[in-house]
Amino acid sequence: MTTLLSASRLTKQFTGLLAVNEVDVEVSAGSVHGIIGPNGAGKTTLFNLISGLLPLTSGTLTLDGRDVTSAPPYQRTRLGVARTFQNIRMFSDMTVVENVMTGMHTRLKSSGVASLLRLPGFRREERAARDKAMELLAFVSLADKARVRSGDLSYGDQRRLEIARALAGDPRLLLLDEPAAGMNPTETRDLGTLLRQVAKRDITLLLVEHNMGFVMDLCDRITVLNFGRKIAEGGPREVRDNPAVIEAYLGTKVAARLAKAHGA
Amino acid sequence: MDGMTMAEWLDDFLFTYETLIHALGVHGLLALSMYCVMAVGQLSLGQAAFMGIGAYTGALLTLNLGLPFWLVLPLSALAPAVVALVIGGPTLRLSGVYLAISTIALGEVLRVLYINAEWLTGGALGLSGIPRKADLWLIYLLLFLAVLGFWAVGRSKIGRAMEAMREDEAVAGVMGVNLPVYKMGALVVSAMLAGLAGCLTAHSNSFIGPNEFGFEMAVTILSFALLGGIGTPIAPVIGALVLTSLPEILRPLQDFRLVINGLIIVVAVLFLPRGVIPFRLRRAP
Ligand SMILES: Nc1ncnc2c1ncn2[C@@H]1O[C@H](COP(=O)(O)OP(=O)(O)OP(=O)(O)O)[C@@H](O)[C@H]1O
Ligand SMILES: [Mg+2]
């Protein structure tokens, strides 16, 4: 399998805190790759480094063999990186369909002059964009809310709108930061189905999630962070049975007791 | 109106209120120039300075070189655009406050320059005897075209990108918006509009002076957009119409014009965060 995203010795230092500390991650094209770890482990910071929201302290980042270490966010988007946010960040005054169309920014080619003069080519492109946005909304089951103000959507709807908006840019790599947070079990199950369909569209998924069942079920490969460092990596089963991972999540004492119980 | 024909009445009306009607149109353009910057989430207090550059450029080109007005007008838009490029380069990369501060400074620097470069600008006395070439129809045609242009561009990916920037700049970047280019583009276009307005003022008042384009004017222009709102391009223009005609309507309160402007800003910011025209442009077909 070819590597789509390769992060090497990725480091982010906030004053006095190494939020991400020399992390190596390779994400294979076409895979669903999970990032897990306790609160404050550095997962969101890692996403911010990959999407270019934060400059990195050191390390390198390549996308499909191309060095993007210091590329601004818009260039990474053009190259096919999209993301959602842990603390939902939609354009809440815009309607739902406008949000999705904003996600198409890099794929729309009409010039400012064409839009100023409302040339036929521009109008055709806008209509096609709207139609595509409606398809994406249907895909995430939001078609009936296209004209609603985004800020008025329910929490779960907002999470799915963020996914539709991210998909609108035709990404190759989609970063999802806790997409199931705040969802009830039914919504979470539907989200799993949705993400499997996304993966079928040849989109590589990099997923941060606290819901272990969800992650284990969906991911081909999982990277575990703790205090900014990578402490384990492998398939779901491998990672689940890794003592370092159990320790990170449960604390040393519990882990020791578990190990004893297993040994006995 | 007895005994007067409609045309006579209109002539009479235009004559009496000519200055005000010109000012309304020019202020509409200035309000749009403010809108253009605020629409990408930036704050500039340099619109009056850009206007001044346009006014002096236009007046000098007409008075000293005798260039035709159709050439003077675009050159008066170009001059402040170049200054905007120079100012925007270093400041737009920093946080928004820097643009506001450096544009205030620009206004002050220019005022001192106009006063001291007496040989060119007429110093504190300013320039007078500028031919009245900006007629009503030209002013309102330009205003109409500007509103139409913002409306058209607002309903495209550019308009969506601009609204995205003002809602959440970082996320707009993640959507693929080239933030530096958009900020610079907005500042340059806003400078061009302000320059046009300055040139039109010079060629309708026939006089310009160094103190007309200072901090007071900058705040007045800002208050147009704050009062009207920036949800649609027409909103700041309405803000300008109200704030420009109010002192005329409340003539007895003329002395308190500044106080009233200040009050309106405070009230607008506190109680009408979206202005008196709070609607927003639809940005999807
Ligand atoms: N902008 C910032 N400035 C300073 N410290 C930060 C900043 N962003 C994150 N941190 C710190 O970096 C560490 C990692 O935070 P991060 O948000 O990446 O964790 P996380 O793994 O996403 O946690 P959670 O599961 O709670 O979302 C935390 O200690 C956090 O307080
Ligand atoms: Mg997080």
Residue B118: partners with Cβ closer than 8 Å, 6 or more residues away: none
Q: How far apart are CA B70 and CA B228, in angstroms?
A: 31
Which residues lie near ion ligand 2 (Cβ < 5 Å)? A 43-44, 86
Together in a domain, A74 and A153: no
Helix (H) or strand (E) holding A21: strand A17-28
A38 belongs to a structural domain: yes
* Ligand 1 site, residue A21, Cβ cutoff 6 A: no
Together in a domain, A181 and A162: no
β-sheet bridge partners, residue A20: A12
User: What is the pTM assigned to this prediction?
Assistant: 0.92
Domain end among A168, A190, A212: A168
Together in a domain, A120 and A205: no
> Quick one: chain A helix, strand, coil %, rounded to 5?
45, 25, 30
**What is the end-to-end Cα distance of chain B in Å, rounded?**
47
Together in a domain, A113 and A1: no
A85 belongs to a structural domain: no
Together in a domain, A154 and A204: no
A101 belongs to a structural domain: yes
Most B-contacting residue of A93, A105, A148 (CB-CB within 10 A), to test interface: A105
Show the CA angle centred on residue B223, arms to residues B218 and B226, nearest 5°: 130
Residue-wise pLDDT tens digits, B97-107: 888 888 999 99
* Ligand 1 site, residue A223, Cβ cutoff 6 A: no
Domain end among A111, A143, A168: A168
Together in a domain, A5 and A119: no
**Range of the structural domain that residue A163 is part of:** 90-168
Together in a domain, A142 and A98: yes
- Nearest-neighbour CA in chain A from B285: distance (Å): 6
pLDDT (0 to 100) of residue A255 = 66
Calculate mean pLDDT across residues A90-104: 97
Tokens 């253009």 belong to B36
pLDDT (0 to 100) of residue B1 = 47
Together in a domain, A36 and A65: yes
A73 belongs to a structural domain: yes
A65 belongs to a structural domain: yes
Together in a domain, A72 and A178: yes
Q: How far apart are CA A31 and CA A27, in angstroms?
A: 7
B residues 169-208 closer than 8 Å to A (CB): 170-179
Which candidate from B149, B164, B285 shows the least CB-CB separation from A102? Answer: B164
**Successive 10-residue mean pLDDT values, chain B, 285 residues:** 74 82 95 96 94 97 95 98 94 83 92 93 91 92 97 95 96 97 96 98 94 91 91 94 82 72 78 83 85
Domain count, chain A: 2
**For all residues of chain A together, what is the average pLDDT?**
94
Together in a domain, A73 and A202: yes
Together in a domain, A149 and A223: no
Chain A touched by B153 (CB under 8 Å): yes
Residue-wise pLDDT tens digits, A193-242: 999 999 999 999 999 999 999 999 999 999 999 999 999 999 999 998 89
Together in a domain, A185 and A263: yes
Residue-wise pLDDT tens digits, A117-162: 999 999 999 999 999 999 999 999 999 999 999 999 999 999 999 9
